[in-house]
Amino acid sequence: MPWLVVIFLLLTAAGLYGGLYLAPPDYQQGDSYRIIYIHVPSAWMSLFIYVVMAIAGAIGLIWRIKLAEIVAISSAPIGASFTFIALVTGSLWGKPMWGTWWVWDARLTSELILLFLYLGVIGLYGAIDDKRVASKAVAILALVGVVNIPIIHYSVEWWNTLHQGPTVTKMDKPSIHVSMLIPLLLMALSFNVYYLIALIQRARVELLERERTAQWVKNRVSERKQ
């Protein structure tokens, strides 16, 4: 864990230094584009974590592996957080550039639906007392919601939108200058490491809560007593 935190801090420091200081202002958007270094990695993470959650949910559903169930439900609040960040930073970027905080277009609406899917997963899990049953229900909801993931990704190509098209995740060469691309990728890496750290933190608590009657947890509690 401590070395994960060190890697995260190093990546973030390098990414922010490159993005906020070294990279030049955008020729059209000036310095406002610098929101990209958290907006885009957050949006990527919101999709990536959802897929991880759905796959872990499916593994839990099929093989009844407890660890997979814990990874699935522990991912939900982190994914919801990144979705929230993507939406809010997008709004804060949209206001000066598009002249509006929000439009009901395909990209923004489908990302908002993603947030509701995450919140649905968290709410459903909390509503069912038997956590093994809750994990089954949550996995099915997560799997149904996967249909939204390609919709979000291709929304900027399928529909007319204010949102710009992809500049990195496309078949061609990325249409972003390397001085901006490198910090962007560093931040994406940093957010991936962050996800791992936050996931381990959540999963540890979830495991304790679930196994509260198990002998090893009782031992852990009585160790604390002394």
- Which is closer to other proteins, CB of 62 or CB of 214? 214
Phi, psi of 170 (to 5 degrees): -145, 170
From the list 212, 210, 62, the residue with the least C-alpha distance to 136 is: 62
140 binds other proteins (CB under 8 A): no
CB 193 within 8 A of CB 8: yes
- 46: helix, strand or coil: helix
The yes or no reply on residue 75 touching other proteins (CB under 8 A) is no
- Tell whether residue 179 is a contact of other proteins (CB under 8 A): no
What Rg do the C-alpha atoms of the chain give, in angstroms?
Answer: 20
Residue 65 is inside which H or E element, if any? none
For 78, left (φ over 0), alpha (ψ -120 to 50), or beta?
A: alpha
Q: Does 161 bind other proteins (CB under 8 A)?
A: no
Q: Which of 88, 112, 119, 185 binds other proteins (CB under 8 A)?
A: 88
73 binds other proteins (CB under 8 A): no
Does residue 20 interact with other proteins by CB under 8 A? yes
Q: Which residue type occupies 27? A: Y
209 binds other proteins (CB under 8 A): yes
Which residue ranges make up the site for other proteins (CB under 8 A)?
20-21, 25, 30-32, 34-35, 38-39, 42, 77-78, 81, 84-85, 88-89, 92-93, 95-96, 194, 197-198, 201-202, 204-205, 208-209, 212, 217, 220-222, 224-225
